[in-house]
A and B are shown apart, each in its own frame.
Chain A
Amino acid sequence: MARLHPMLEPYVPTAADPFDSVKAAHLLNRATFGGTIDEIARAQKLGPREAVNWLLDFPDAPAEEINPHDIPDLAVIKGFPSDPKAMQALLLGKTPAEQQALRMQIAVANQQADITTSNWWLGRMAYGPFPMHEKLTFLWHGHFTTSATDERSGLLIWNQNETLRKYAAGNFRQFVHAISHDPAMLDYLNNQQNKKAHPNENYARELMELFTLGIGNYTETDIKESARAFTGWTHDGINYVFRPAEHDTGIKKFLGTSGNLNGDDIVELILRQPACSKYIAGRLYKWFVSEDPNPAISDSLAQILVENDYELRPALRTLLTSKVFYQPDAIGSQIKSPVQLMVGLVRQLGLPAPDDRVVQPLLRQMGQIPFRPPNVKGWPGGHMWINTSTLFVRYNAAVTLTAGVIAGLADSPANPADLVGHWVDRLIQRPIDPSQNFVLVNAARGNLQPGVLRQATGVAARQVIQLIVSMPEYQLC
């Protein structure tokens, strides 16, 4: 067993380096979409190890299994086909014009289904029972990327979302197998067209390049050979189907192994590569700790994946309790994604659910629509989130979301410096530059009477909150 990298050893609080609210908030920012005030207090009380155990304490199950009543209601969408398999039957005997009209109507219904699912998911991120479960599901949505289209059934997108949820913290080996059988994925990467006579390499290529190994760890021949192994893997409109007649049963040579390999064999051979565990560990490091890769650390994390047969929880637990996770350069170094920004604000302030009709256009303008990633690489993130246009949208979105009811507004401290301190703690959750603090306190206090608010407490508090969410500091977590 290889020695653990020293920076992956557990962070142990000391009197000089306590597990304070800054660190507890940091954990909740990265492991969830930002902590509520109660969650931060609870995490701090539990300490770094138990807090992670608490956050990871959710069933490896889709939402429907956890609570059959808490799923998006797609049945109410007008014209939405509850059984996509029945599509052909619906079209049968219709004139071409009627068929065209029906297809258009179904496309509109699919669009609506994707938006309904997206809104339900955003709600679950903000108010659901297991916030870390949803953060991981969102990570994998950007990893095993699939984009909705008007033609792709909204049911396939929802089913894939449930598959992501089921394996989000489970076993990565089973996860890759499940994704390779996922109808929305097979559709998105053209495995429908992958047939013995005309292999289509799209799924095989992205499986290795983006989902498991990373570029440079396989050859073009490996892609061609593995594409043959996935021939005949398709779906019937709703479920995975294997079509033996389209499947190539010939000998394939893949990553040094020869035989009549099928898609399952390919997945197993990939997972055996050291590059796979390293690639996934690097992905987790980037998502949870820092955009700057650190192969020495993530390769050590990869060992934990391998030793646990690709169970994700031990690796997640190690990473989120580690020294590197709590180092000062990690805290506040991540540019919030649009979803993190909006859901985070709702959670931090305990806001009521914002209107779906407001949220979706704002996310679009900020550049992140769930189920509509820009390409199979997912969202690039980091600096790409911020430009002159999206920055105004981000500021104005936060100002809009904080225009309504905010609990505890009138109970804010009546002293300007304390009031500012209170809301900086709640929103930015770490110390800010004194010059920035000075501007905020000046904004809150009366000109003539230092120490006294300019306006009624609730009004002053809202003014300060809206300024804080319009600060560069608030874009980071």
Chain B
Amino acid sequence: MNPMKTLSTRRVFIQRGLCLLAAAPTIPTFLDQTVMALADPDDVKRTQQPSGKDGRILVVVQLGGGNDGLNTVVPYADDQYHRLRPAIGKDAAKVLKIDNYLALHENLAPLKNLFDNGQLSIVQGVGYPNPNRSHFRAMDIWQSGQPENDLVTDGWVGRYFDNTCVGADPHVGISIGAQLPLAMQGSRITPLSFDRPDNYRYKGKDTSDYLSLNQAPDGPPPANAASVKATPASQLDFIHRTAMDAQVSSTDILRITRNYSPTVQYPATEFGNGLKMAAAMIGGGLPTRVYYVDLGGFDTHVAEIARHDTLMTQLSSGIAAFWADLKQQGNQDRVLMMTFSEFGRRVEQNASNGTDHGAAAPMFLVADGLRQGVIGQHPSLTDLDQGDLKFHIDFRSVYASVLQDWLETPSKPILGNQFPILPILKA
């Protein structure tokens, strides 16, 4: 392929790949050094902001299937808990107590350490009005952040990108999984997603001719892509530009993840591997603001204990390794992790020693500089809604707090309303 052409199209990529936050003073450039080195001096000058390595990062951990909140953060001192869960209730003698009422599941010892160090917060009883108990719909609600709107086509993180970034650099978000989750989908910006970096590349044999056929056209992209008429030429232009973005990001991601060898030992699970890749990309200086990692299998209708215990181990060992790795990198203070599940589970165990779909549940937040360990009241085990816990904290309050106090952006344009900010982070 023609080297000159590569250079010129890379410059095009840079020109439109700027993703500066609109109104915040400490903004990463979202530019990676290899691309920067090829750019015109003028381009560099224009985009030279504080280094991408200073930017704060959010890591969303999705617990798919409906995690049993009551067996994760256990109200071990509540008689009603043991009464309603004679077979699957956690043993008060084994759980990891954090006060005289609450404890963490016994396989969450690494998370208990983080809690004791002030690096883990538990937000209790999170949910929303009229909870939906269908996996699909409830997951859409959590991912869109819009329980009232069932036709939503973008997610809350996607709207964060749309609202705060100029340009269309897809690097701003990376989802590790086979399919881009609705949460990350913006109407203007579509982040990257792949299950393994090795799948995020062109697999045909003739890569050099493929590259030539997929060059981006010269010149800036249309200012308002959404209003462009769908002619053959405009559609081709759009696909060529997407292909160029794909190629540049693929090269970066393969280069960074292939050679990553952390000193920390990650658990050999899919979740552990996903977090290891996220760590590689953070350490590699990618300008990514939000990573999205999934741990599935929480739909424990039958014989819950064995499965849930294993999942708790996977969750805590993965997070522990990731957190230690970030410390090694010197990046721990840049990252906030947040876990969520589409719903909690029924308070009372079912006939199969499992639990059915429920409602409110706790969320975990992991970061340096958290303000307090437990946020909010534990929901009552006797005052229930159709057998499920009632929520005290709207999940959009958690999102709003993360957006405002961590990502330093106004939350109302993203969430539609101003939700109360929780005392999560130190000022």
B313 at the A/B interface (Cβ < 8 Å)? Answer: no
B352 at the A/B interface (Cβ < 8 Å)? Answer: yes
Which of chain B's residues 167-221 have a Cβ closer than 8 Å to chain A? 170, 178-180, 182, 190, 192-194, 199-206, 209-210, 212-214
Q: Is the CB of B352 within 8 A of A97?
A: yes
Residues A389 and B232 in contact in the complex (CB < 8 Å), given A376-B150, A395-B202, A470-B214: no
The number of residues on chain A lying at the interface, defined by a beta carbon within 8 Å of a beta carbon of chain B, is 55
Of B194, B209, B225, B350, which contacts A389 at CB under 8 A? B194
Residues A104 and B302 in contact in the complex (CB < 8 Å), given A333-B230, A399-B203: yes
Interface on chain A toward B: helix, strand, loop, or mixed SS?
helix
Residues A476 and B242 in contact in the complex (CB < 8 Å), given A100-B350, A389-B200, A443-B206: no
Q: Is the CB of B204 within 8 A of A470?
A: yes
Q: Is the CB of A387 within 8 A of B242?
A: yes
Q: How far does the Cβ of A66 sit from chain B's closest Cβ, in whole Å? A: 33
Q: Is the CB of B236 within 8 A of A473?
A: yes
Residues of B contacting A442 in the complex (Cβ-Cβ under 8 angstroms): 209
Residues A392 and B351 in contact in the complex (CB < 8 Å), given A387-B190, A387-B242: no
Q: Determine, out of A5-13, A162-170, A310-318, A377-385, the stretch whose residues face the partner at the interface.
A: A377-385
Q: How far is the CA of A20 from the CA of B251 in the complex (A)?
A: 42
Q: How far is the CA of A367 from the CA of B180 in the complex (A)?
A: 9
Q: How far is the CA of A396 from the CA of B239 in the complex (A)?
A: 16
Residues of B contacting A97 in the complex (Cβ-Cβ under 8 angstroms): 351-352
The number of residues on chain B lying at the interface, defined by a beta carbon within 8 Å of a beta carbon of chain A, is 51
Q: How far does the Cβ of B181 sit from chain A's closest Cβ, in whole Å? A: 12
Q: How far does the Cβ of A81 sit from chain B's closest Cβ, in whole Å? A: 19
B117 at the A/B interface (Cβ < 8 Å)? Answer: no
Nearest B residue to A367 by beta-carbon distance?
A: B179
Q: Is the CB of B136 within 8 A of A147?
A: yes
Q: Is the CB of A470 within 8 A of B210?
A: yes
Q: How far is the CA of A292 from the CA of B140 in the complex (A)?
A: 29
Residues A391 and B194 in contact in the complex (CB < 8 Å), given A95-B351, A463-B205: no
A448 at the A/B interface (Cβ < 8 Å)? Answer: no
A306 at the A/B interface (Cβ < 8 Å)? Answer: no
Nearest A residue to B250 by beta-carbon distance?
A: A392
Which of chain A's residues 226-275 have a Cβ closer than 8 Å to chain B? none
Which of chain A's residues 457-471 have a Cβ closer than 8 Å to chain B? 463, 466-467, 470-471
Q: How far does the Cβ of A150 sit from chain B's closest Cβ, in whole Å? A: 9
Residues A439 and B242 in contact in the complex (CB < 8 Å), given A367-B179, A472-B214: no
B243 at the A/B interface (Cβ < 8 Å)? Answer: yes
Q: How far does the Cβ of A272 sit from chain B's closest Cβ, in whole Å? A: 26
Q: Is the CB of A439 within 8 A of B213?
A: yes
Nearest B residue to A365 by beta-carbon distance?
A: B178
A332 at the A/B interface (Cβ < 8 Å)? Answer: yes
Which of chain A's residues 93-109 have a Cβ closer than 8 Å to chain B? 95-97, 99-101, 104
Q: Is the CB of A101 within 8 A of B239?
A: no
A388 at the A/B interface (Cβ < 8 Å)? Answer: yes
A51 at the A/B interface (Cβ < 8 Å)? Answer: no
Q: How far is the CA of A290 from the CA of B232 in the complex (A)?
A: 10
Q: Is the CB of B204 within 8 A of A467?
A: yes
Residues A476 and B205 in contact in the complex (CB < 8 Å), given A104-B302, A387-B190, A436-B213: no
B269 at the A/B interface (Cβ < 8 Å)? Answer: no
Q: How far is the CA of A436 from the CA of B182 in the complex (A)?
A: 35
Nearest A residue to B231 by beta-carbon distance?
A: A329
Q: Is the CB of B351 within 8 A of A100?
A: yes
Residues of A contacting B182 in the complex (Cβ-Cβ under 8 angstroms): 374
A386 at the A/B interface (Cβ < 8 Å)? Answer: yes
Q: How far is the CA of A472 from the CA of B247 in the complex (A)?
A: 13
Q: How far is the CA of A407 from the CA of B413 in the complex (A)?
A: 55
Nearest A residue to B150 by beta-carbon distance?
A: A375
Residues of A contacting B140 in the complex (Cβ-Cβ under 8 angstroms): 375
Residues of A contacting B214 in the complex (Cβ-Cβ under 8 angstroms): 470-472
Q: How far is the CA of A470 from the CA of B238 in the complex (A)?
A: 15
Q: Is the CB of A364 within 8 A of B178?
A: yes
Q: Is the CB of A388 within 8 A of B351?
A: no
Which of chain A's residues 421-465 have a Cβ closer than 8 Å to chain B? 436, 439-440, 442-443, 463
A117 at the A/B interface (Cβ < 8 Å)? Answer: no
Residues A392 and B202 in contact in the complex (CB < 8 Å), given A97-B352, A104-B302, A475-B239: yes
B246 at the A/B interface (Cβ < 8 Å)? Answer: yes
Residues of B contacting A155 in the complex (Cβ-Cβ under 8 angstroms): none
Q: Is the CB of B204 within 8 A of A395?
A: yes
B245 at the A/B interface (Cβ < 8 Å)? Answer: yes
Residues of A contacting B354 in the complex (Cβ-Cβ under 8 angstroms): 100
Nearest B residue to A150 by beta-carbon distance?
A: B135
Q: Could you mark each residue 77-113 of chain A with 1 if its beta carbon is under 8 Å from any beta carbon of chain B, else 0?
A: 0000000000000000001110111001000000000
Residues A386 and B136 in contact in the complex (CB < 8 Å), given A100-B351, A391-B246: no
Residues A333 and B232 in contact in the complex (CB < 8 Å), given A383-B238, A471-B214: yes
Of B136, B229, B242, which contacts A292 at CB under 8 A? B229
A149 at the A/B interface (Cβ < 8 Å)? Answer: yes
Q: How far is the CA of A399 from the CA of B213 in the complex (A)?
A: 15
Residues of B contacting A383 in the complex (Cβ-Cβ under 8 angstroms): 225, 238
Q: How far does the Cβ of A197 sit from chain B's closest Cβ, in whole Å? A: 18
Residues A466 and B205 in contact in the complex (CB < 8 Å), given A100-B302, A333-B230, A439-B212: yes
Residues of A contacting B204 in the complex (Cβ-Cβ under 8 angstroms): 395-396, 399, 466-467, 470
Residues of B contacting A356 in the complex (Cβ-Cβ under 8 angstroms): none
Q: List 9 A-B contacts (CB under 8 A).
A: A96-B352, A104-B302, A377-B153, A389-B193, A392-B246, A395-B210, A466-B205, A472-B214, A476-B232
Given contacts A436-B213, A476-B239, 18 further A-B contacts (CB under 8 A): A96-B352, A97-B351, A147-B136, A292-B229, A374-B182, A375-B140, A380-B153, A387-B180, A388-B245, A395-B203, A396-B199, A439-B212, A443-B209, A466-B206, A470-B204, A470-B214, A471-B213, A475-B239
